[in-house]
Chains A and B, each alone.
Chain A
Amino acid sequence: MNEARKTQHTLAMTIALISWAMLFATLFMGYAIYRSSANVWPPMGFARISLVLPTISTILILISSWFCYQMKLDINRGQVAPAQKNLNLTLALGFAFLVTQTLLWRNMNHSGVYVSSGIFASIMHAFTWIHAAHVLAALVFLVYLYFQFKRHAGNADALWMKTENGEKFWHFLGIIWILMYFILFVF
């Protein structure tokens, strides 16, 4: 791919990620205000959310990010077949992440943290929904990439831009999740 075109794509994706970061930064700002203005956190009547499922989610998304990075390295080296394997693993772990998120929402409901149970429950549900919606969108893109890999099996150059942008977005969502994990669940 033309170097100038690569520069354009890298720049555009970076700007887009800054925009997305502002969306999540606004959510975190809101969280900081709610939490700092509360007398106790979680509020009276709520227990902390168990760390088991969020921790599993964190591990899954971290490992998926590593495979996603390997996929990009393979494409940079012009090796589509190993990149395909790493893409498959990223996809599998991404879907597993969404499964753990679904279990997390079910567990929260079972323990009485319904979405309408006040600001603590609203935050726990809504922030994870918004993140999961982005993960779902990213997975749809990675599925599209899967078919692109099949189509351009011998032409890594044709796949460079989509792989690069998909990888950046996937890492971004990983970073956002890790921030959520520590801010919402651990501290």
Chain B
Amino acid sequence: MSGGFNEIHQEPTTFISKYVFSFDHKVIAKQFLWYGILFLGIGGIMALLIRWTLAYPGQPFPVLGPLLFPDSAGVVPPDTYAMLFTMHGTIMIFYAITPILIGAFGNYCIPLMIGARDMAFPTLNMLSFWLALVSGLLVIVSLFTPLGAAAGGWTSYPTLSTMIGSPGSGQTLWCLAIFVLGASSTMGAVNYITTVITLRAPGMGYFDMPLTIWGLWLTAILNAIFIPVLGAGVILLTLDRVAGTTFFLAGAAATSGSGDPVLFQHVFWIFGHPEVYILILPAWGIVSDLLSFFARKPAFGAKATALAMTAVTVLSTLVYGHHMFTTQMSPLLTQSFMTLTMTISIPSAIFFANWLGTIWKGSIRFHSPMLFSLGVVFVFGLGGLTGLYLGTVTTDLYLHDTYFVVGHFHYTMAASVLLGGFAGTYFWFPKMFGKMMNECMAKIHFWGTMIPLNGIFFGMMMVGYGGMHRRIYNPFIYESLRRLIPINEMITISAILMGAFQIVFVINFIYSLCKGEKASQNPWEVGTLEWTIPSPPVHHNYDVIPTVKCGPHEFGNPKLTNGRDFQYQTEDLVV
């Protein structure tokens, strides 16, 4: 079905049509990038407020504290603390990672890497961004409502998220924001899936697609299927809050008849577990490509990697119950979910081994995208292995709701995805903006992120294993946990350091945009389609739709005679 309808749209001429209400996938990608980076900053500051409170309970947050919390002399109040961890999780997952990894890289890479002129539905694409913006505004507005923002955790379990647990309009706005963002993501997913199926360049079979596209495509499939599940859940939760229904109210909370609070947990995790893979599949795809590009070797077992990612996608839909082992589900169910969860290890191990196989004996170029990709290999390895303890019933019963869980999912969902996002940003920045990022600052940024990042998340797993529960304002009122204060201080200092090093990234980004060295057409010397056109690409990407003749990872062929160690996908394979 490749080589479909690929018309050339007229180039916009006004500022509004070119940069604001743009149909161009490249501009929409950049809009999502700015949007995601803005929310990454907001979510990051919230993380620092949380960490400060845990390391130095009762002490005012420096500089910003007196401005934000004048009534408590700069100390984060307990109710605000609950709002902070709720909104930190919500913002980072839905408003930072999703727009950067899926919105920005999905929009930018899919048409360029499959040889298309734009998405299949440019108007739908634009609408998807503007709906995301409306959702972002709803979330921001919810922070300033009289009783404050949502405070029931990013999972918004009832009864915490009902009018009894969270009175006021903050939680209602949270529900609406998530619903609108879900509509935006579903629009994007429909567009991505259709584009990949119908607009691949002639000659590009599915296994000729770069693994980045595989990751984004599988993510879009999961989005299309599972976002509506959360959509249904938040509609019913909203009706419970505003219309008087009792879907998730029970006991004394339900004035007449009884609903089922645990049902929301089922609905949430039917969506929520695939969501983990929705976030990480694009990063896996990007890393799978970049490891090959910078090791100057073909991706080891590329087909197996694509199939393993597909297997993970399928299995991710069957394992959600491991988030709910402590809800008194029957032992038969817990064992079934545990077994299914363990089976995810098999395809995960396959592509992880393929990553190692790819870099084994490679001529590695340690440019910044490669450093961040290797960082993903390390942190995902740790995150994946620690997930085994949470997928196993016996150990999960001990570790559930402790900081071990927080450390684990930050390693997988935050660290892996963040580093993958940085790898992608450093790699495609030259194509996006026609400038090179400063490599020295990029490397300082990498080490300044990588070392404290492990201090934070490994530290979290240590205090979690030591018995420290999550979501407690001051865990140290319990004497047994006071011995964990020094580790908490180490985590917080690491977080401050990591936050500080992100300033290097911001400076590098702005400096490179303004004064960066001009990028050539193919600065990294790789063969995928986007590197066959100028940096940045022209409005319609390709004057002539390319014909694909080989795979995306053709490196190190000793029979190459043209002075290059790689082949473009548009060239006949040298044999």
Q: List chain A positions with a Cβ less than 8 A from chain B.
A: 2, 4-5, 7-8, 11-12, 15-16, 18-20, 22-27, 29-30, 33-34, 37, 43, 114-122, 125-126, 129-130
> Shortest 9 CB-CB distances between A and B: which pairs?
A118-B257, A116-B244, A122-B245, A26-B232, A23-B228, A4-B5, A22-B228, A4-B4, A5-B5
Contact between B228 and A26, CB atoms less than 8 A apart: yes
Q: Mark B241-267, 1 if CB is under 8 A from A, else 0.
A: 001111100000011111110010011
Contact between B194 and A11, CB atoms less than 8 A apart: yes
Q: List chain B positions with a Cβ less than 8 A from chain A.
A: 1, 3-5, 120-121, 186, 189-191, 193-194, 197-198, 224-229, 231-233, 235-236, 239, 243-247, 254-260, 263, 266-267, 270
Known: A4-B4, A118-B257. A18 touches B224 (CB 8 A): yes
Q: A23-B229, A115-B243, A126-B245 are in contact. List 14 more A-B contacts (CB 8 A).
A: A4-B3, A11-B193, A16-B186, A19-B224, A26-B232, A34-B263, A37-B260, A115-B244, A116-B244, A116-B256, A117-B256, A118-B254, A122-B257, A129-B239
In the complex, the chain A residue whose C-beta lies closest to that of B224 is A19
Q: Count of A-B contacts with CB under 8 A?
A: 118
Given the complex, which residues of A lie within 8 Å of B121, measured CB to CB?
8, 12
17 A-B pairs (CB sep. < 8 Å): A5-B5, A11-B198, A12-B120, A20-B228, A23-B228, A23-B232, A26-B233, A30-B236, A34-B263, A37-B260, A114-B244, A116-B256, A117-B257, A119-B259, A125-B245, A126-B243, A129-B239
Contact of B246 among A5, A24, A27, A119 (CB under 8 A): A119
Given the complex, which residues of B lie within 8 Å of A25, measured CB to CB?
229
In the complex, the chain A residue whose C-beta lies closest to that of B124 is A12
Shortest beta-carbon distance from B162 to chain A in Å: 13
Contact between B257 and A22, CB atoms less than 8 A apart: no
Contact between B225 and A18, CB atoms less than 8 A apart: yes
Given the complex, which residues of A lie within 8 Å of B3, measured CB to CB?
4
Known: A37-B260, A130-B235. A15 touches B194 (CB 8 A): yes
Contact between B193 and A15, CB atoms less than 8 A apart: yes
Q: Give complex CA distance A2, B254 in Å.
A: 56
In the complex, the chain B residue whose C-beta lies closest to that of A118 is B257
Q: Give complex CA distance A5, B246 in Å.
A: 46
Contact between A12 and B194, CB atoms less than 8 A apart: yes
In the complex, the chain A residue whose C-beta lies closest to that of B3 is A4
Q: Give complex CA distance A12, B123 in Å.
A: 13
Q: Give complex CA distance A159, B231 in Å.
A: 31
In the complex, the chain B residue whose C-beta lies closest to that of A34 is B260
Q: Give complex CA distance A18, B220 in Å.
A: 13
Q: Give complex CA distance A130, B243 in Å.
A: 13
In the complex, the chain A residue whose C-beta lies closest to that of B270 is A26
Contact between A116 and B246, CB atoms less than 8 A apart: yes
Given the complex, which residues of A lie within 8 Å of B120, measured CB to CB?
8, 12
Given the complex, which residues of A lie within 8 Å of B270, measured CB to CB?
26
Q: Give complex CA distance A88, B236 in Å.
A: 34
Contact of B4 among A7, A121, A122 (CB under 8 A): A7
In the complex, the chain A residue whose C-beta lies closest to that of B264 is A30
Shortest beta-carbon distance from B453 to chain A in Å: 35
Contact of B259 among A8, A122, A129 (CB under 8 A): A122
Q: Give complex CA distance A133, B190 in Å.
A: 22
Known: A30-B247, A119-B246, A126-B243. A15 touches B228 (CB 8 A): no
Given the complex, which residues of A lie within 8 Å of B229, measured CB to CB?
22-23, 25-26
In the complex, the chain A residue whose C-beta lies closest to that of B220 is A15
Contact between B225 and A11, CB atoms less than 8 A apart: no
Q: Give complex CA distance A4, B116 in Å.
A: 14
Contact between A12 and B5, CB atoms less than 8 A apart: no
Q: Give complex CA distance A9, B4 in Å.
A: 12
